[in-house]
Amino acid sequence: MKKVFVILLITSLLLSVTAFAADIKRGGTLRMTSIKQGILIENFNPFSPNTNEMAIGGFYETLIYFNSMTGRIMNWLAESYEWSDDLLELTFNLREGVLWNDGAPFTEEDVLFTIGLGKDNRALDVASLWSTGVTGVRSDKPMTVTFTFSDVNTTIIQRFSSVFIVPEHIWSKVDDPLTWIGEGIPVSTGPFILKEGSFSEQSFSVVRNPNYWQIGEDGKPLPYIDEVLTLTTTNEQVPLRLARGEFDWAGYFVANIDEVFVKADPEHFKYWLPEGNLVFLNLNNLKWPFDSYNLRAAIASAIDPFEITRIMASGAVPASPAGVKASYLRLAENGLSEYGIEFDPDYARYLIEREGYKLSRSGIYEKDGKALSLNLYVPTGWTDWIMGAEEVARQLKEVGIEVIVTLAAWPSPYQDMIFNGNYEMLFGISVTGTSPYYQFDNWVHSKHWAPIGERTKNYYGMRYKNDRIDELLDSYRKLTDPQAQDEVMEEVIAIFLRDLPSVPMFFNPVWFEYSTRNFVGWPSAENPYAEPRPTGMDKMPVLLSVHLR
């Protein structure tokens, strides 16, 4: 028997912000900022690194969508998928009745063609399928596509959320798919179509695809909005333009946002800053003094992430000791209960003294004539991180640890220090990715480990390894049941909290400003149905949910 996972695309899951169809008002032009500053380039090639952000997720769609706010897969152009018993084959059952916006039907041939492009030219394999285990792709019957793999790794399913399907009947005639920028209106399955003649260096418009396959709560094809006007701007311009009400959706850093933006119209001008990538205090576990758990725990006890983020004033979100986003804290409950360390300077001093350190007249702990004095590296010019590092130094001085904030240029020599282990502690980034598995597999699995002086396999540079964590993360790759996967990650997170190889501090924010003057249905802290990024598929649930107020 095959393991079958059918997750029907129930529109109400995406559109939970709209309670009743009678409340939904259609129409309107939504104004949003481009993520690219300066001159806009008319390039809607989903394979190009210079593609316009509306191409991926606005025009071209994927077989599945991985919602990073919920951690669950939602079917998109595929209405279901199933693994073979040996987990070496994955079959997607494609959605019937989907049309390209030129009227041609979407079929398995389009998927086979798109995947084949990446096999023939790895630059077109944007999700790295062919380099991470895919050995073949075929169609055994209409509207199905089956992938074969070299080894068992069910986590590869997430990569399909980055594969944007293109029409075979158009792209098969393209000489160079990597450099082609398109001609006229892009042929795609998405909810929007490029408005003819609208593109300029400062703006462009997309309009509703009248034959889009998703149906709204009012029984009509989505989206509810008629048009999206994308406008270019700059970091310097955006605060004033937001305050003037020129944008319905923006994704820019705005200093002092409550005074600059919200105060101009408190009833309608809103923002939400969900967690992005994690910034952590990388403690070199192979160097003094962080080869001692007590010293690592002392650092964790002495640091107050809430005060650090307040001082930084950059929108950063304080992290829990588990280092996972709020939507995944359920996986950390047991670990936090048993091993979690809270801000407690007195406990920090106690742990330091347990290691035999004595407080000197200068207020710095010493042992065997050696002061507890450490360098903390941060990248040159990263002003918010520098402010955060200076606050870390102040907090650690309160418990008798001298910290010298030292600047180093990014990427070199900063990344070189991480790779080679030539540091005591520094600010590091853990890419949270699509799930805690992705985050911890890249962060703490020993396959990335290297001794000091040898280059680590990734830029996290953690000199930490634990055989049980390796075993758990490897077992995760053989699981398909979400509950079983959650149980694995619960134990991984608990071991991380127990061993405390590093100290999570804060999440860089995903900047999201929005206005309810004209449109409602936005995601928020109260209704976090999607991550409000204007890139990729993340913008899709938002643009399919908002409607006129």
Helix (H, G, I), strand (E, B) or coil at 253: coil
433 lies in the same domain as 538: no
Number of CB atoms found within 10 A of residue 150's CB? 11
Say if residue 463 is in the same domain as residue 529.
no
H-helix or E-strand containing 14? helix 11-14
- Over 50: is that where the pLDDT of 7 sits? no
Calculate the alpha carbon distances from 183 to 42, 43, 57, 153, 538 in Å.
10, 9, 19, 39, 26
pLDDT higher for 6 or 280? 280
Q: Do 422 and 302 share a structural domain?
A: yes
pLDDT exceeds cutoff 50 at 301: yes
Reduced to 3 states, what is the DSSP secondary structure of residue 398? coil
Give the pLDDT mean for 40-48.
94
User: What value does the mean pLDDT take over residues 145-156?
Assistant: 98
251 part of a folded domain = no
- One domain, residues 420 and 541: no
In a domain, 263, yes or no: no
Q: How confident is the model at residue 21 (pLDDT cuts 50, 70, 90)?
A: low
Q: Please state, in angstroms and rounded to a whole number, the distance separating the CA atoms of residues 323 and 497.
A: 9
Query: Which tens digits make up the pLDDT trace of 329-355?
Result: 999 999 999 999 999 999 999 999 999
pLDDT at 183: 79
Co-location of 471 and 443 in the same domain: yes
Q: Which amino acid is at 51?
A: T
- Tell me if 43 sits within 8 A of 201, measured CB to CB: no
State the CATH number of the domain containing residue 68: 3.90.76.10
Could you tell me if residue 164 is inside a domain? yes
In a domain, 329, yes or no: yes
> Measured between alpha carbons, how far is 37 from 137 in angstroms, rounded to an integer?
39
In a domain? residue 204? no
Question: How many domains is the chain partitioned into structurally?
Answer: 2
Neighbours of 408 (CB within 10 A): 18
Q: Average pLDDT in the 478-499 region?
A: 97
* Percent of the chain with pLDDT strictly greater than 90: 88
* Domain region containing 505: 276-509
Is the per-residue pLDDT at 11 higher than 60?
no
- Judged against a pLDDT cut of 80, whether residue 2 lies above it is answered with no
What burial class does residue 429 get, using C-beta atoms within 10 Å of its C-beta: 0-12 exposed, 13-18 middle, 19+ buried?
A: middle
| Residues 419, 525 within the same domain | no
Q: What is the pLDDT of residues 178-215, one digit of tens each?
A: 999 887 899 999 999 999 999 999 999 999 999 999 99
Residues 360 and 372 occupy one common structural domain? yes
Q: How would you write 71-128 as a 3-class SS string? A: CEEEECCEEEEEECCCCCEEEEEECCCCECCCCCECCHHHHHHHHHHHHHCHHHCCCC
**Residue 305 and residue 178 share a domain:** no
pLDDT of residue 15 exceeding 60, the answer is no
Query: What is the model's pLDDT at position 22?
Result: 56
Contact by Cβ (8 Å): 106, 85: no
The string of pLDDT tens digits covering residues 109-143 is 999 999 999 999 999 999 999 999 999 999 999 99
Residue 150 falls inside a structural domain: yes
In a domain? residue 203: no
In this structure, are 451 and 530 located in the same domain?
no
CB of 90 closer than 8 Å to CB of 80:
no
The predicted model gives 467-479 an average pLDDT of 98
Residues 442, 531, single domain; the answer is no
Query: Mean pLDDT in the chain?
Result: 93
What whole-number distance in Å separates Cα of residue 213 and Cα of residue 9? 11
Q: What is the CATH number of the domain that holds 471?
A: 3.10.105.10
- 44 within 8 A of 58, measured Cβ to Cβ: no
Closest C-alpha among 456, 451, 494, 457 to residue 472:
494
151 occurs within a structural domain:
yes
Element (H, E) at 339: helix 333-339
One domain for residues 302 and 165: no
Please provide the DSSP assignment of 464-481 as one string: ---HHHHHHHHHHTT---
- Percent of the chain past pLDDT 70, that is, above it, reads 96
Instruction: Answer yes or no: are the C-beta atoms of 12 and 19 closer than 8 Å.
Output: no
Write down how long the chain is.
549
Long-range contacts of 522-526 (CB under 8 A, 24+ apart): 522/17, 522/249, 522/270, 522/546, 523/17, 523/69, 523/272, 524/270, 524/272, 525/272, 525/274
Strand partners, 149: 134
How far apart are the C-alpha atoms of 423 and 282, rounded to whole Å? 9
The pLDDT assigned to 457 comes to 84
Per residue, the 3-state secondary structure of 129-141, as one string, reads CCCCCEEEEECCC
- Report the interhelical angle of 345-354 vs 293-302 (nearest 10°): 160
Q: Please check whether residues 477 and 523 belong to one and the same domain.
A: no
